[in-house]
Amino acid sequence: MAPTRTRLLHAQLADLARHAFGLTPGAPDLAPGTDFEDAEGVLVATTSPDGLTVHEIPRWRSPASVRAELQARGWTEPAAWVGTPPESDAGLPDRLLVLLPVAGTAPDSAVISLGAAVWADRAAGRETIVVPVPVTAAAPEVTWLELATAYGAGPVASHVDPAPPHTGGRAVMFTGLSGAGKSTIAGKLVELLLEGGHTVTLLDGDEVRTHLSAGLGFSKADRDTNVRRIGWVAAQIAKHGGLAVCAPIAPYAATRADARRLVEEQAGPGSFVLVHVATPLAECEARDRKGLYAKARRGEIAEFTGISDPYEEPTDAELTIDTRSSSVEQSARRVLDHLGGS
């Protein structure tokens, strides 16, 4: 029987890289009898009765390859700097090996490119090599001295700010019953963001259904798929520092949690903002211009949220809005204020 093929998350790939590079003892805990691949489908490892076999680590540079580069340049134990540069370049040596601990981020995350750009500006005129490494900034799996030594550097000049990496991107997801006012508030929020000079992408529920999720129905499985697709697209936008605004019904707590995880894995903690538009069912029915609730009551529409299918009210929303007491303008500005006046 052929082994099961499983795709590893970015954090799991970093764990695998640390093991393969000898940075941490012990193999990662992976399911037996399985082939493991990265996001591009590259086979990276296999587990068998004989143990774990690592085939390749396509993303991360090994310590051996970095040491070989240092040797080729004629660098002997250059000073190491782990993480972000100092406020001033005064005292920085002429040669620096910069190690960016960015385990868990995507290879094309803005955290990495921005980190390299900041160093290029701060260390202008100096010889600098910037290497992203598979170590967690806030809770490093190896000491900074051990990390620097593994990569061929000398003394550690400083260490990383322990704050988790954040791209600066955000994803706002509005959730609520049909007719609650999600799309209207989302649209107004987009207007306010654009007025503030920001580039923002609106992922409206109806438009996503027409394009991104064409062909999906309204079964629980299809609804879950629709919301996860929205979460994935929002994560790609936030990963590069962008703003995404989403307005699906998103009736299930587990699927909303999946969307949150997708975004925060790519853009950092706090980058996902859930807004519950908590307009009551009776008010939504009273506003129903399309007559959808009436059709659902008559049994003409199956699995209709709030009537024949449940809506699981969020317990983890950053904001809760009742449109009976908050206008569209007021509601949108509440969200804008939460975003820090973005």
pLDDT digits (tens, 9 = 90+) for 41-81: 899 999 998 899 999 998 899 999 999 999 999 999 898 99
Cα-based distances in Å from 230 to 6, 256, 285: 22, 10, 26
The mean pLDDT values, 10 residues at a time, for the chain of 342 residues are 78 94 91 90 92 92 96 92 84 89 85 85 90 91 93 81 75 95 94 93 76 71 88 91 93 94 87 96 90 90 89 96 94 94 50
43-48 and 34-37 as β-strands: parallel, antiparallel, unpaired? antiparallel
Distance in angstroms (rounded) separating the CA atoms of residues 342 and 340: 5
What pLDDT is recorded for position 158? 67
As given in the structure block, the two tokens for residue 66 are: 């970095």
The predicted structure's pLDDT at residue 83: 87
SS3 323: coil
Q: How far apart are CA 10 and CA 58, in angstroms?
A: 12
Q: What string of DSSP letters covers 123-190?
A: TTTSEEEEEEES--SSS-SS-HHHHHHHTT--SEEE----SPP--S-EEEEEE-STTSSHHHHHHHHH
- pLDDT at residue 342, as a whole number: 47
- The confidence score (pLDDT) of residue 207 equals 72
Q: What is the pTM of this model?
A: 0.68
Q: How far apart are CA 328 and CA 123, in angstroms?
A: 48
Q: For residue 151, what pLDDT is reported?
A: 96
